[in-house]
Structure 1
Amino acid sequence: MKKISLWLFGAIGIYFLASLWLFNRVYSTTKLVVDEEFHLRQGLHYCHGNFSVWDPKITTFPGLYILSTLILMPLHLCETYFLRMVSLLASILNIYWMYEIRKSILPAKEWKKSPSWGLALDALSVSLLPPMYFFAFLYYTDIASISATLAMFNYSLKNSHKLAATAGSVAVLMRQTNIVWVGFILGLNVLDKLVAKAPRKKSKKDQKFAYSIHDIFNAVRYYLKKLSSGNIKWFLVIIEQFLPYLVVLVAFLVFLYINGSIVIGDKSAHEATIHLAQIGYFSAFVAFFSSGFVLTQFKEIDQILLKRRYILLLLGIFFLLAVEFNSVVHPYLLADNRHYTFYLWNRILAKPLMKYFAIPVFMFGAAWVLEMLEGQSAGFKLGYLVCTAVSVALQSMIEVRYFLIPYLILRLTHTKSFKLNGLAVEFAFNIAINAATFYIFFTKTFFWSNYTEPQRIMW
Structure 2
Amino acid sequence: MGRLAVAAAVAAWAIPIAALVDSVVPEPYMDEIFHVPQAQQYCRGDFSTWDPMITTPPGLYYVSVAYVASFFPVAWMSRAAKTFDVLCSTAALRSTNVIMAMVCSVLVHDLLLCIRPGIGERKATTYAILLALYPVHWFFTFLYYTDVASLAAVLAMYLFCLKKQFWISALFGAFSILFRQTNVIWIVFFAANGAISYIQDLYPKDNASHENSEPKHQSNKVVSGKDNKIAAQGLRRRRMNSPISKGVVISESTKLYNSLAEEVWDISLKLWNSKCKIFIAFAPFAVVMVAFVAFIIWNGGIVLGAKEAHVVSPHFAQFLYFGLLSAAALLPWHFTPSRVSDLFHLSGKNKTWSSLAVLMGLGLSFVAVHFFSIAHPYLLADNRHYTFYIWRKVIQVNWMMKYLLIPFYVYSWFSIMNILGKSQTRVWVLSFVMSVALVLVPAPLVEFRYYTIPLVILVLHSPVIGNGKLLALGSLYAAVDLSTLVMFLFRPFHWEHEPGTQRFMW
TM-score (norm 2): 0.82
- What's the offset of the Cα at 1:51? 0.8
- Residue of structure 2 equivalent to 1:302: 341
CA contact (8 A) 1:372 1:410 kept: no
Using a 3 Å threshold, how does the CA distance of structure 1 residues 258 and 306 change in structure 2: closer, same or farther?
Answer: farther
- Of 242, 248, 252, the residue aligned with 1:207 is 248
- Residue of structure 2 equivalent to 1:33: 29
Counting only pairs closer than 5 Å after superposition, residues 82-101 of structure 1 correspond to structure 2 as: 82-101=92-111
CA contact (8 A) 1:48 1:78 kept: no
Find out whether 1:60 has 2:56 as its counterpart.
yes
Quick one: distance in 2 between partners of 1:390 and 1:47? 35
Find out whether 1:47 has 2:46 as its counterpart.
no
Find out whether 1:134 has 2:139 as its counterpart.
yes
CA contact (8 A) 1:165 1:245 kept: yes
CA contact (8 A) 1:293 1:422 kept: no
- What's the offset of the Cα at 1:439? 1.4
Q: Which moved more, 1:206-215 or 1:313-322?
A: 206-215
CA contact (8 A) 2:319 2:437 kept: yes
- Residue of structure 1 equivalent to 2:489: 442
- What's the offset of the Cα at 1:369? 1.1
CA contact (8 A) 1:128 1:431 kept: yes
Quick one: distance in 2 between partners of 1:316 and 1:305? 16
Find out whether 1:145 has 2:192 as its counterpart.
no
CA contact (8 A) 1:282 1:403 kept: yes
Q: Which moved more, 1:199-208 or 1:359-368?
A: 199-208
- Of 264, 268, 272, the residue aligned with 1:220 is 268
Quick one: distance in 2 between partners of 1:404 and 1:18? 20
User: Partner of 2:495: helix, strand, or coil?
Assistant: coil
Using a 3 Å threshold, how does the CA distance of structure 1 residues 202 and 257 change in structure 2: closer, same or farther?
Answer: farther
- Residue of structure 2 equivalent to 1:324: 370
CA contact (8 A) 2:101 2:141 kept: yes
Deviation by residue 1:50-74 (Cα, 9 ceiling, x = unmatched): 1111100001110000111112135
Using a 3 Å threshold, how does the CA distance of structure 1 residues 33 and 222 change in structure 2: closer, same or farther?
Answer: closer
User: Partner of 2:315: helix, strand, or coil?
Assistant: coil
Find out whether 1:337 has 2:391 as its counterpart.
no
- What's the offset of the Cα at 1:115? 4.3
- What's the offset of the Cα at 1:382? 1.6
Deviation by residue 1:303-332 (Cα, 9 ceiling, x = unmatched): 224425443332111111110111111111
Find out whether 1:276 has 2:272 as its counterpart.
no
Find out whether 1:387 has 2:435 as its counterpart.
yes
- Residue of structure 1 equivalent to 2:83: none
Using a 3 Å threshold, how does the CA distance of structure 1 residues 456 and 248 change in structure 2: closer, same or farther?
Answer: farther
- Residue of structure 2 equivalent to 1:166: 171
Quick one: distance in 2 between partners of 1:218 and 1:10? 43
CA contact (8 A) 2:327 2:412 kept: yes
Larger radius of gyration: 2
Quick one: distance in 2 between partners of 1:219 and 1:380? 11
Counting only pairs closer than 5 Å after superposition, residues 95-110 of structure 1 correspond to structure 2 as: 95-107=105-117
Using a 3 Å threshold, how does the CA distance of structure 1 residues 360 and 215 change in structure 2: closer, same or farther?
Answer: closer
Quick one: distance in 2 between partners of 1:270 and 1:243? 32
- What's the offset of the Cα at 1:221? 4.4
Quick one: distance in 1 between partners of 2:458 and 2:493? 37
- What's the offset of the Cα at 1:11? 3.2
Using a 3 Å threshold, how does the CA distance of structure 1 residues 259 and 430 change in structure 2: closer, same or farther?
Answer: same
Using a 3 Å threshold, how does the CA distance of structure 1 residues 240 and 304 change in structure 2: closer, same or farther?
Answer: same
- What's the % identity of the aligned pairs? 29
- Residue of structure 2 equivalent to 1:229: none
Q: 2:281 is aligned with what amino acid?
A: Q
Using a 3 Å threshold, how does the CA distance of structure 1 residues 315 and 240 change in structure 2: closer, same or farther?
Answer: same
Structure 2: any 5+ residue segments left out of the alignment?
A: 76-86, 215-246, 348-353
CA contact (8 A) 1:444 1:456 kept: no
Using a 3 Å threshold, how does the CA distance of structure 1 residues 241 and 331 change in structure 2: closer, same or farther?
Answer: same
CA contact (8 A) 1:8 1:120 kept: yes
Find out whether 1:428 has 2:428 as its counterpart.
no
Counting only pairs closer than 5 Å after superposition, residues 224-239 of structure 1 correspond to structure 2 as: 234-239=274-279
Quick one: distance in 2 between partners of 1:380 and 1:23? 38
Structure 1: any 5+ residue segments left out of the alignment?
A: 227-233
Quick one: distance in 2 between partners of 1:299 and 1:254? 50
- What's the offset of the Cα at 1:438? 1.0
Deviation by residue 1:351-378 (Cα, 9 ceiling, x = unmatched): 2011011112212211221133121122
Quick one: distance in 2 between partners of 1:70 and 1:346? 42
- Of 246, 268, 279, the residue aligned with 2:286 is 246
Quick one: distance in 2 between partners of 1:115 and 1:244? 32
- What's the offset of the Cα at 1:448? 2.2
- What's the offset of the Cα at 1:294? 3.6
- What's the offset of the Cα at 1:447? 2.3
- What's the offset of the Cα at 1:257? 1.5
- What's the offset of the Cα at 1:450? 4.8
- Residue of structure 1 equivalent to 2:328: 288
Quick one: distance in 2 between partners of 1:183 and 1:409? 15
Quick one: distance in 2 between partners of 1:133 and 1:235? 42
CA contact (8 A) 1:101 1:413 kept: no
CA contact (8 A) 2:383 2:504 kept: no
Using a 3 Å threshold, how does the CA distance of structure 1 residues 456 and 80 change in structure 2: closer, same or farther?
Answer: farther
- Residue of structure 2 equivalent to 1:182: 187
User: Partner of 1:136: helix, strand, or coil?
Assistant: coil
CA contact (8 A) 2:159 2:169 kept: yes
Quick one: distance in 1 between partners of 2:310 and 2:271? 41
CA RMSD of superposed structures (Å)? 2.1
- Of 187, 192, 209, the residue aligned with 2:197 is 192
- Residue of structure 1 equivalent to 2:450: 402
CA contact (8 A) 1:284 1:362 kept: yes
Q: 1:102 is aligned with what amino acid?
A: L
TM-score (norm 1): 0.90
- Residue of structure 2 equivalent to 1:230: none
Quick one: distance in 2 between partners of 1:235 and 1:291? 42
Pairs aligned (count)? 435
